Amino acid sequence: MDEDKVAQKKSLRNQFNYQERSSQTFNLPIRTKGIKTEPPMRSVFSVEATQWMIFDAYMAGWEKMAREEMEEAAKGKQKEKKPVQVVQVTQEDPVYSASMKRCLKIMERLIVQNANEERFIDYKYEELTMDEYNSP
């Protein structure tokens, strides 16, 4: 009987110190490492950039690149003594452009709206017939 009690004590787990296997893993503490450096040099810089300034700078760069390509092509063709063809780039007249057409449509709508403002307000808030306005 004594052997049974000893075997039973060995097979029984201690209820108060029991931990599951998954909870027995050791988690290392998180360590932080701080590094301090000198801040970079600072300077105050401010520029106003408009759409036209950006466009003008782009066009100047594009013309410079095209001119350099033409010079390189001319140097290579001078050896062959062939005439250099210059291609003219025609730019669309801004008066007839699509953006000008769009702007004119907006302006026309504003003019009509301002000229007939009284009619639009009455139409919006009251139900009047147009015969009252058309009669002299």
pLDDT by residue for the chain (136 residues), tens digit each?
A: 667 777 666 666 556 666 666 666 677 788 888 888 888 899 988 888 899 999 999 999 999 999 999 998 888 776 666 566 777 767 777 788 888 999 999 999 999 988 888 887 877 777 555 556 665 5
Residue 80 belongs to some domain of the structure: yes
Burial (CB count within 10 angstroms: exposed 0-12, middle 13-18, buried 19+), residue 3: exposed
Residue 104 belongs to some domain of the structure: yes
Tell me: do 97 and 136 sit in the same domain: yes
Tell me: do 79 and 107 sit in the same domain: no
Tell me: do 126 and 105 sit in the same domain: yes
Question: Quick one: pLDDT at residue 19?
Answer: 60
Question: Quick one: pLDDT at residue 117?
Answer: 86
Question: Quick one: pLDDT at residue 10?
Answer: 63
Who contacts 70 (Cβ-Cβ below 8 Å, separation ≥6)?
84, 86
Rounded Cα gap, residues 55 and 48, in angstroms: 14
Question: Quick one: pLDDT at residue 90?
Answer: 72
Burial (CB count within 10 angstroms: exposed 0-12, middle 13-18, buried 19+), residue 122: middle
Residue 103 belongs to some domain of the structure: yes
Rounded Cα gap, residues 86 and 77, in angstroms: 13
Range of the domain at 82: 59-90
Number of domains the chain is built from: 2
Tell me: do 111 and 123 sit in the same domain: yes
